[in-house]
Structure 1
Amino acid sequence: MEENKIVFKVRQEDEGLKLRAYLKKVQRLSSRLIKGAALSGRLEIDNKRVKLNHIVKTGESVSLNLIKEESQNIEPEKMDIQVVYEDKDIIVVNKQPGIVVHPTRSYPNGTLANGIIYYFRKKGENCIVRLVSRLDMDTSGLIIVGKNQFAHMCLARDMKSKNFQKSYIAVIHGKMDDEEGTIDLPIYRNKEAGIKRVIDERGQKSVTHYKVMDNFKNAQLLRLTLETGRTHQIRVHLSYLGHPLYGDSLYGLEDDSQYIKRQALHAYGLKFPHPRGDRLMELKCDIPQDILDLINKIS
């Protein structure tokens, strides 16, 4: 398989479909990707450009060229980017605490995206930053970026599948009632409260699975996996149960600055299908030093 192309082989049971329907229903590509690829001449069958009303036949090779001209209004900035995994389609980085993921009005530069753009340009790659996942400024850990439109589309689509799993570790005040369990509580954003979220029946369904990994005097180390991905989900759920994260200035109950300078939350694990569909990726990164220091202080 050519690195800059995705090739699909038409099966007998799919013969007779129009190319548009074949790509959408069989290969599960987005309408936006299909339309854009057709308009720019990046779709071919057996090395010949075709239109979307072409009727596919058994054995034909449908190819999608991933190379396209694109730009992004993000200034490249030299930064220490910790790359955990990278190939032609994706890059996974270990974000450090205190770094905003993407430029905003309050943080126009110095973000992870600025650093990744610099990294791409230094390597001679004309990629833009297509974030698949995001983390709060003071949450550390793994973030996936799609290096082309196809990869980003596949990963965004598959985030809702059981094969896509995001795992975190957190240090909480107090102790959970059970060693493992599921928190299923709706999270609501009251616009008058700014960025803060609350548990409210008007909110979106939010599900967090947890398991106690270690016990301390009046604290615990938890491993958590998200079934849904709401903003501040872990922080809101645990705070509501009376077990806020150490260092959480927004949802916490006390000043923990003598222990840690940010919320003790780290996205340490990712499991997801690779966009090319040939393997299930499983990546992990180490617990950062400030959380290790916190554990030593409270042990």
Structure 2
Amino acid sequence: MYETMTFSGGIHKHNEIEELIEDLGGFVLQKNDQQLDVTITMAVPAEDTDKIEQKAKELLGSVEISPLASTEIAVVSPTLARQHLPHAACDIAEYLRRYGTKTNMIGLARGAGKGISQISKSEKDLIEEHDLAIFSLGSFDDCIRKKTHLFEDIDIPVIVTGSPEIAAEEINANAYVSGFGRIPRRLKRGENIRALRKLVEVSEDIISKQKEDLEDDPLIVSPIIVKIALERKVPEVAHINAPMALVSQLDGVRVKLPYDKFHEEIADVEVEGHRLGDISEIKKSKMYDHILVKILPETSLY
């Protein structure tokens, strides 16, 4: 089992931590150089995290566990139309990215309106391609309660955000975070930052619980290993112009290549002695016809 961590420190001798990651059998997931500072998101075996912490201390840097790294989260708003501004979803999505996750903003076609809001099957299927969904709702208690049909049958964990205090059990959500709603400005004030931090904490708790559940029936191979294999063995990945050509999920990888043209090549990639098509479900995504690789659990081999 791999643990995702983020190292922050000076650029001097930072190559030593990269070498240690490689020696431990881990991977560098993302690296950002910012003048004299560097931030490295990594995946290392869970039993070796103490070695990374020791090296970070030696380099006068800091390292912390990043549960949201290598995950994909859908930030859903009933509408993203300009006539329904402002949208807290924008700041929510951007803030979550700071913690290593990949966020996708989704605006429902007919989600606006307390009495007429709807969600289509294709929208539901798209949301369920993610590890977690965050529904950004409004400021009124009654409005939020009458929009529970938008998310109550979503098959992935759902966090709802809004302005009033509501118990998550009352709206059939996995969690509810207050302090949001329709705020006519950027979420930069103290109470807004506290609400965003609370949202991150709740998201991390849910993702950590999902990881624990996966340990009960582990995947045949780690999505991180599949991601690295695809980067090395599919030349077209290097030419993808989209940010994050490959997106790791808890149970798979999103490949931003056209399904019809590349799904057979993806299926033939060998990962730890297995043909990828034999140990995963490879299907067409609802998002731009991307390829979605969902890795099967070990019990599927028996």
Fold shared per TM-score above 0.5: no
TM-score (norm 1): 0.23
- TM normalised by structure 2 equals 0.23
Higher-Rg member (1/2): 1
